[in-house]
Amino acid sequence: MSPTFALLGLLAVSVPLCNGKIYEDPNEIPSLDSYDYVIVGGGLTGSVVASRLTENSNTSVLLLEAGGSHQGVYYIEVPGLQNFTGPGTIYNWNYTSVPQVNLLNNTIPAPRGHVLGGSSSINGMWYTRGSSADYDRWANVTGDQGWLWDELQTYFEKSESFTSPVDGHNTSGQYDPTLHGTQGPLQVTVGGYSQSLDQLVMGRLDEQFPFIEDYDDGEPIGFGWTQTTIGNGSRSSAATAYLDNYLNRTNLDIAVNSLVTRISASNGSSIDTVTLTANGIPINVRARVEVLLAAGVFNTPHILLNSGIGDATELSAMNIPVVHNLPSVGKNLTEQPAVSNLWNTSSPVPAAEAEAAYEQALAQWNSTRTGRMVLAISNTVGFARMNMSNLEVEALVEQYGELAPGPASPHFELLPTVNAFDAEANFANAEFIFDTVNLVPYSRGTVTLDPTNLMGDPLIDYNFYSAPQDILVMRQAILGALSFVSTPDWQEFLADPVSPLFAAVVGEYPNVSNTTMDAYIRASTTISFHAVGSCSMSPAGADWGVVDPDFHVKGVKGLRIIDTSIMPFAPAGHSQAAAYVIAERAADIIKASN
């Protein structure tokens, strides 16, 4: 890190904090038994539900967050510095998967936000709703028609305020205003800094890769302009959107640095007690109405299992007293596998020039909240289906059926970006990255306890490619990416592939053998940051799943789960927009029932 950057960073973090009720020490919580609701997890969904419930001045909420406050954290606020909140930082839980048997026993990061706002404070800020068929399938599987795409439009609009990009460019044709809200707390926009890559992408579009004006219309096939949760050049997270403006509410208290270890029933019948630790000392907080678990796809099942709610046989084997036998807890973990396909570019930037550009970009953002640092990752993204006339795809469909929930739903995502602005060294490297993401994974993993340390990190097993159709989809995605960059303009832009395994794939294109392709995929697969499903929703009364459609944990009184762990499937896109809808709908259901 250069001296100039260090100085800019120090200047930028010297911002005034809000005068809200955020207790840095859980011992300062005013009362331990006077809240209607105790929400475990101050991430995206917890922040939203806390805000919505306390709109009623007669409803009191305590929001508990294991990490610290987001306020004044420069790396969170600046969109282009998102990598500085990644693995290895205090803003991340820094979890890692168990060795993946189908990925050469590689371990894979399992990042999640460890700060108010949760992953919305550290993610890539993508706003993609997925396809209408995703939600219609959700409604059909759970038996709750409230999850239908058409029924959820009210919640998409309620949460969102679509804003103009900071560079003031003409956005006509870059999104459809009729699809978006303008009065919600969460700010969403299209890219506020143009780059030459944009025109290279848009110039490639044709019948094979069509243009789509707005991929949030429910049928997201094609390449379009990226929508991100950014407003006025800064990250718009659940914490900034739903908490910062409401910290003066007398019925909302927030305690950070509050690690919850378990939940229990003080009266033996209804969950009402949350046990957290402060400097290693346990503190019990009681909810008068309900406990709401919003600890996320990894930590929610971790807390449930340590509380004796899970598979009775597995709990007994670890000497955990069984409170309620619920075998599906921690099962159905669903993540969309991703492969980053990297090339060197034909015109790398000299290191000195790159560092100067980097520091200039930081200075511009500090001064005006404009420039290259308002760019999240890329201004364009594509969603595509497999080539249904391909013989391998025909055989795949014949064996497994249609993998996507509907004919207008994509199978994979194509994300082009130049990795040249979120660390000084990357300016000089100027690698082109074409991410390919399987949007319809059928492999299911698990979140379990570590028998050697029950309160330690959860054991996270994505179980990638355990379903054979998943690697076939990834093959098609990579072939689609190679086809996209096969034109003369792209070939002039690209130099050699970065890795030898990828070079072998490129060398065999278009007739890449499965042996060559699969060796590359198994060595290169990582996560897309879209894990869901570890406490899946199912119909009321079903003997599988963890929560009913009203978010109540099956067979347990006084407890609901309100995070993305309840999603039965991953949506065909990024999971952030769906998480806001989950939270908004959960808040309304809770309000109506109590």
Q: Binding site: what residues are annotated? A: 115, 260
**Residue 43: which of 427, 558, 580, 453 has the closest Cα?**
580
Which position among 70, 302, 552, 574 bears the catalytic label?
574
Q: Are 471 and 375 in contact (CB under 8 A)?
A: no
3-state secondary structure of 34: coil
Alpha helices in 331-390 (DSSP H): 351-368
Q: What percent of the chain is helix, strand and coil (3-state, nearest 5)?
A: 35, 20, 45
User: Residue for token digits 């930082």?
Assistant: 89
Confirm whether 180 is a catalytic residue: no
269: tokens are: 């019948």
What's the DSSP call for residue 68? B
Q: What is the DSSP string of 191-253?
A: -SS--HHHHHHHTT-SSSS-B-S-GGGS---EEEE-EESEETTEE--HHHHHTGGGTT-TTEE
Cα separation values, 393 from 389, 401, 403, 521, Å: 7, 10, 11, 18
User: Residue for token digits 């993609």?
Assistant: 128
Beta strands in 458-549 (DSSP E): 459-461, 494-497, 526-527
What is the amino acid identity at position 11?
L
Strands 273-278 and 259-264: antiparallel
Structural element, H or E, at residue 416: strand 412-419
Alpha helices in 16-127 (DSSP H): 44-53, 74-77
Cα distance between residue 197 and residue 201, in whole Å: 6
Axis-axis angle for helices 391-400, 468-484 (nearest 10)? 150
Which position among 180, 324, 530, 552 bears the catalytic label?
530
Q: What is the DSSP string of 297-322?
A: HHHHHHHHHHTTEE-HHHHHHTTPPP
Rg (CA), the chain: 23
47: tokens are: 């922040």
594: tokens are: 């109590």
Strands 526-527 and 337-345: antiparallel
Strands 337-345 and 380-384: unpaired
Strands 227-228 and 186-190: antiparallel
CB count, 10 Å around CB of 325? 15
List binding-site positions for FAD. 115, 260
Confirm whether 574 is a catalytic residue: yes
Cα distance between residue 565 and residue 43, in whole Å: 13
Cα distance between residue 583 and residue 518, in whole Å: 39
What's the DSSP call for residue 287? E
**Catalytic residue positions?**
530, 574
